[in-house]
Structure 1
């Protein structure tokens, strides 16, 4: 197997995988929600015949308030986020990332949480249990706040909401925001004013409409739920999985999350807290993932504090790893994460030197290809030696005819005599392939490349080349590589396939993000230079390919 042939087969396998992934996305059954259902869901209401949200019941009266009252929401603005909190239940129903634009050079910030119909995504938390206000048959608690809007002026901002329940509990739900952070600390102070013990249980859940995926064949990204337990460090649960079957898992610590391409929203309990993680499929095309903490008894006159942490922001690996164990795995490099992570840190280091992600991509490609040069040279030399033996192998085949056993024995003796390893051309490519694939996922998953400029007409490495210059240059480089490395394929049909491969890849790469195409183009150019050097060395050894 020649280097060029192996490279093309790897690329073909990758494109086939992406096509299969997109087929799965396109043909998976999608729940259809009526406008009325979406409106009800945005207010937190479930149909009368549904118990899908029975842990957080809402009465018709409460739902009416959520739909009609202009005072039901309060706004909170920090230097990093702008969010809305619904006083009915105290849920975050809208959250915008002020430092991340929705579009390149746009003024509109990227929205993670939203109440906009098919874009619905809420972060809900509250108290159930025997006596929790969210378990009341009269509906979710209607909190009160001292202001309708809050603006951060210092390093932290606390937004307290209060609720006095009919059974004698005074609940203060406080949202704590920190300067420069996408973290929201949610604290519950529960005071028992009654003369009997009260039982409460904290829950935190993420509810999202399932029709929001922006994944495509050229950018196959995951959009769905995920969780972590003390046994499973990172487990994805697709919306289809949630629709098919609800999960119920007990864990010591962990987290629950909703993931999209460059961003993640996660509820994180305290590290050693005993929690129960579950999922539910809701009416109106919604999916929910939640965790519930331990039930807590509050004695008469006693005040108990319960808390959870919400992160809603970019998939910043360093920050996520600080917040919770394995939360950084939401930057999903797949099974090759142990290779991708060091490569990402190397890419970060190079960016720190040159302050340009495009230049950093070029430098890391040069470094990786340079480190693998010795393997590439061994591969080419081994293939050259095998080509030199072709006449002798042809002679052996004619001598032994259809006797495969004798032919195989004679062939192995020839390899041993000539000191040729028939696997010498395959083993190096097996080492290189995981590295190339790891780099691919680094470029796909890294939020740092989102809206990152390179040079000239490339103003966003996460989007396709607007003038298709890079894909065309990449196709030309593949054509040059084919000419420099003749293939041993004799079958006319296979020869035609390999001849048209550069054209096919150019077509596919037209829609690839510019950062990925830049990586492949630079890799091809370096391969061409290496081919010229190695071919010159091979010619000196008298192993040149026979034209």
Structure 2
């Protein structure tokens, strides 16, 4: 190494020493560095502890999961894997209905009818998911299980781009191991209220208890209020069922009712005023426990319906239970199309059988015909009323003529009553009847029109509140012809009357009062004490009976009574003259009295027994 090299190294060393001296940290910086080092040391220690805690937590969680798995295995056996899963909603939808199917229980969570709304313009759901039951109960490994507590898996779901033109299918399976499952298969047809429903039990002979002879299918639901008039909606909401090849029955629409049916049943219907959910067996159900519970008036729920259905189980490789649902309106024509042979149309309350024929063969066909040409149901009811009154016009005329004949004979009847004392009531009656017979008057002639009209009145009394055609259809001031109309809301609820004033009901009562007045002027004899007052009390009673009833019915009774008043006035003014009627009766008196065949037979029988006919 030469001299220059040595000086170079010395200079470099001096530079390094100088740089080190000049760049050394101050006391404050050294203190800060020591602080940072301490913090880093604490953070490393904390991270180590957290990591240790995390590892310990994972170990504990694993142990708990293992313990839970053992507990689930112990509780649910082969179905343990169907407990802790995530809920999912599968939707089936066409133009008419929308079904929401929950993977929890594989059940129909709710059904929306797309063409209808509630009275307050909300979506119309036949039932809500809460407080509804839908599933099988059975014993497996000596434990009672309910499928609605377990998760199903949608293994097959077919849905085209245009769901309205193709059949939709979803298959929900509850697995119990390889090749072992319970399946709910739902099939929604296009443009249909019908939903196919099949229960398939596959390979479960080693899972379900060997001594199990029946599986129980539980179906229950809360029925929410959907209409404006809760009172009559509740009255027309009931649980119906049809015996196999026999009559349709129902549980009482009020209170709490239970019934056990061991004979075959074709279908079960949770019927509301205008809509129904019906479970229909392909063959028949056998062994059902029914229950219907009324809810409080303040509850948004009307009733709770439930049906526990026994399904025979043979322990085979495949057990199949085919059935179907109808979710739709209580429209007579629609129900006949879906189940004429099984009497689904019985869900439409048309009244007792002896009166229902009037609605089936007369009122409904007229309604269906007029619907094709007229959109306003108030006009349809008006035309229906006119048609009915015109058909009955000959009877109305005959009834008035009978009353007129008795009216013109009243002076002669009064003469009989003056001539024969009151204590000889039988003699009075015989003399009066002899006068009627001689004059050719039938005192019961005025009753025939009432006998004919009575089935029509009763039939329409049941038709209007049940007619979905009138639901939410407005006319004049009435916003819903299937419910009450209201022109004034009262600040309080009057017992038996309500909290509103129905104008159609007022008009109906007023026309009945006028008609009662017209009839009282035609009376031929003194009425029983209080009868006159009772006749005038009837219109007042109508105010209480019909104030909460369907405005369509009050409107019909108003128009019908008004038409009758006009008919009676016209007949009295233009067609019937009292003097001519009296002259005709006096002419009848001169004719020989003809005995009826029945009267002749009575007299012949009396002669054979040694009795003589009374002298005339």
What range describes the TM-score normalised by the shorter chain of this pair?
0.7 to 0.9
| Structure-2 residue corresponding to 1:113 | 127
Offset of residue 421 of structure 1: 0.9
Distance 1:437 1:281, change over 3 A: closer
**1:354 aligns to what SS in structure 2?**
coil
Aligned match of 1:40: none
Alignment of 1:494-513 (within 5 A): 494-506=531-543, 508-513=545-550
Distance (whole Å) between structure 1 residues aligned to residue 322 and residue 113 of structure 2: 23
Corresponding residue number in structure 2 for 1:328: 345
Partner of residue 33, structure 2: none
Residue 198 of structure 2 corresponds to residue 187 of structure 1: yes
Partner of 1:250: 263
Q: Deviations over 1:168-223 (max 9, x none)?
A: 62333221112222222112344328789987856555313489697766677322
SS of the equivalent of 1:495 reads: helix
* 8 Å Cα contact 2:195/2:324 also seen in 1: yes
CA 1:353 to 1:341, structure 2 compared with 1: closer, same or farther past 3 Å? Answer: same
Find the counterpart in structure 2 of residue 339 from structure 1: 358
Match of 2:12 in 1: none
Question: Structure 1 residue 526 and structure 2 residue 560: aligned?
Answer: no
Query: How far, CA to CA, are the matches of 2:294 and 2:346 in structure 1?
Result: 30
Larger Rg: 1 or 2?
2
Residue-by-residue CA offset, 1:358-381 (whole Å, 9 max, x unaligned)? 211111111111111111111111
Q: Deviations over 1:237-294 (max 9, x none)?
A: 12667x454312321x511111111111110001x44533332479998541243344
**Deviation sequence 1:478-521 (CA, Å, 0-9, x none):** 33323433353656744344345445434654433321122112
Closer, same or farther in 2 for the Cα pair 1:145/1:235, shift >3 Å? Answer: same
Q: In terms of mean alpha carbon deviation, does 222-231 or 490-499 score higher?
A: 490-499
Partner residue, 2:427 = 406
Structure 1's unaligned 5+ residue stretches are 1-57
RMSD: 3.9
CA deviation digits over 1:331-361, x for unaligned, max 9? 0112121221121122111121223222111
SS in 2 for 1:421: coil
Q: Residue in 1 aligned with 2:463?
A: 442
**Separation of aligned partners in 1, 2:119 and 2:113:** 12
The structure, 1 or 2, with the larger RCO (C-alpha pairs under 8 Å, 6+ apart) is 1
1:267 equivalent to 2:279? Answer: yes
Q: 1:212 to 1:356 in 2, by over 3 A?
A: closer
> Equivalences for 1:293-332 in 2 at 5 Å?
293-299=311-317, 303-324=318-339, 325-332=342-349
Are 1:464 and 2:478 matched, yes or no? no
CA distance in structure 2 between the aligned counterparts of 1:138 and 1:446, rounded to whole angstroms: 38
What is the aligned partner in structure 1 of residue 220 from structure 2?
Answer: 207
SS at match of 1:430: helix
| Counterpart contact for 1:219–1:512, Cα < 8 Å | no
Of the three residues 370, 381, 386, the one matched with 1:350 is 370
Compute the displacement of 1:232 (Å).
Answer: 3.7
Q: C-alpha distance in 2, partners of 1:380/1:464?
A: 34
Q: Given the alignment, which residue of 102, 107, 121 partners 1:86?
A: 102
Query: Which residue number corresponds to residue 48 of structure 1?
Result: none
Q: CA distance change for structure 1 residues 237 and 89 in 2, over 3 Å: closer, same or farther?
A: same
**Does structure 2 retain, via aligned residues, the 8 Å contact 1:206–1:258?**
no
Inter-CA distance 165–240: structure 2 relative to 1 (3 Å threshold): farther
* Structure 1 position 310, deviation (Å): 1.0
Q: Which residue of the partner structure matches residue 154 of structure 2?
A: 145
1:22-75 Cα deviation digits (max 9, x unpaired): xxxxxxxxxxxxxxxxxxxxxxxxxxxxxxxxxxxx98xx99x99x97615444
Q: 1:42 matched to which residue of 2?
A: none
Instruction: Choose which of 527, 535, 544 in structure 1 pairs with 2:572.
Output: 535
C-alpha deviation, 1:445, in angstroms: 0.5
Encode CA deviations 1:362-421: one digit per residue, 9 max, x unaligned.
111111111111111111111121222223223323333212332232222112101111
Higher helix share: 2
Partner SS state of residue 249, structure 1: strand
Query: What is the CA distance between 1:229 and its match in structure 2?
Result: 0.8
Please give the secondary structure, in 1, of the residue aligned with 2:513: helix
Note if 1:428 corresponds to 2:449. yes
SS class of match (2:286): strand
Q: Does 2:182 match 1:171? A: yes
The residue that corresponds to 1:277 in the other structure is 288
SS at match of 1:292: strand
Which stretch shows the higher mean deviation, 132-141 or 253-262? 132-141
Partner of 2:507: 473
Gaps of 5+ in 2: 1-74, 296-302, 488-501, 583-616
Aligned residues: 471
Instruction: Show the counterpart of 1:159.
Output: 170
Give the whole-Å Cα distance in 1 for the aligned partners of 2:450 and 2:254.
Answer: 37
CA contact (8 A) 1:256 1:277 kept: no
Q: Could you state the TM-score of these two structures normalised by the residue count of structure 2?
A: 0.67
Aligned counterparts, 1:34-45, within 5 A: none
2:167–2:187 CA contact under 8 A, matched in 1: yes
